[in-house]
Every structure is written in C-alpha cells, then in structure tokens.
Amino acid sequence: MSLATRNGTGPVDAPVTPPKVVRQRRTRPGLLGLAVLLIALGGLGAAFAVTSVRATGSYLAVARPVEVGREIGADDLITVQVAGGRGLSPVPAGRLDDVVGKRAAVALVPGTLLTDDQLTDDPLLGPGQQQIALGLDPAEIPARKLHPGDKVLLVSTPDTKDGTSAGTATRFTATVIDTAATGNADESVVYLALPVRDVPAVVALAAQDRIAVVLTEAA
C-alpha cells in the first residue's frame, strides 16, 4: 500500500498492520488425567451406592439375651432389614428353622446380628460323661447365677457326724449343663456333667450333703 505526500514527493510505503495471532491454549496432560480420574471415581461411587441398595436383605438378629449353651428358640430372634452389610456375614432370615434348636456358642446380646460363628451343635454333655443333679442352698452356690458351660470343682467336705477328723478332700471337675429353680426358694438345682468314673462317688457325697461347689472358670 502506497501514500502520496503533501509536498509532492513520490509515494512512500505505509506501515502494514501485522496480522493478529490467536494463541492456542495448551492442554496440560496432568489436568486431563485428573479429570479422567475424577470421572472414574464418580462412576465407581455411583456403582457402590447402587450395589449397597440392592444388597438390602432380611437377616436374623438377637431379640433377648441368650446365655452360653442355651438352646435358641424362635422367640429369641427377630428379623431385621440390613442395607449393604459389607464385611458382615449375618444369618439370612430364611434360615430361621435351621437356627432354632441350636445352642449359643457365646453369650448373645440383644440388638446384634446373628452369625454362624455364634452357633454350635456340640453337646455340653460330651462322650464319657454322665449328668447328675445337685440340690444346693443359695449359700452353697459359688456365684449369683451359674451358666451353662461354667467349669466347677466339687470338693468333698469332712464327715462330722461320726466325730472323725477331717481327712484329705476329694476333688472332682464338672461342667454346668443347666440350672433350675424349685418350688422351694431356699434351694436351686444345678445339672452337672461329670466323667462316668466320678459319678458314683459324687452321688454318695451328695446324699450325705458333703459337697462344696467351687467356680473355676466362667463360660
């Protein structure tokens, strides 16, 4: 492009406006990777939420306290709805008939979910054992209440009726099977499992009211 000057001189070249260059934004690979990661995490979170909702089911929970060794009844359990349950292995409500009649391997606490680890089919009366019943006064019971599975020691007491001096006490180990109240408020019945070889001696001592019960291990 040329322009004429006022003093008549020849044309001169006018300055040329340089073209505008639009600077392109550079995409940072780190930001792109972060965006992809956030999108992926969002998708996983949504999938987890959907899976948790779908995992809602009916399970068995403890309705009232059940002592160790007690048989579990239908009234001891309730059905609850649990969403998710990841990391848990509660017993499904549909297995109620399978659970009723089993014994508690541990003390069952109300409000907790029931698991297979808390159940057992093992009898408290093991092989080579027999069960006897002892009628005890409240002062003769070594705890406010004995529970199935408690380990006790039966110790013979001296025979003071014949006026002889106390000899060496005889000891017998036993396991509590159950307890029951009687019509007499001053007596309770304790059912014990003993080795067969000890039963005759313990029965004879019990008939003479010469047995003391010591709690050695609580269930």
pLDDT in tens, 163-208: 555 568 899 999 998 888 777 777 889 999 999 999 999 999 999 9
Q: Give which of 212, 49, 205, 42 is closest to 139, Cα–Cα.
A: 212
Distance CA 177, CA 103 (A): 12
User: Domain residue spans in the chain?
Assistant: 57-120, 129-217
CATH code, 57-120 = 3.90.1210.10
Distance CA 63, CA 52 (A): 25
* Statement: residue 43 has pLDDT above 70: no
The domain over range 129-217 is classified in CATH as 2.40.30: yes
Question: pLDDT digits over 196-219, tens only?
Answer: 999 999 999 999 989 999 999 987
Q: What is the DSSP string of 90-145?
A: BPBGGGHHHHTT-EESS-B-TTSB-BGGGEE---SS-TTEEEEEEEE-GGGSSSSS
User: For residue 54, what are the CA distances in angstroms to 24, 49, 51, 83, 142?
Assistant: 48, 9, 5, 8, 52
Give every CB contact of residue 67 below 8 A, 6+ residues apart in sequence: 104, 107, 147, 148, 219
The model carries a pTM of 0.55
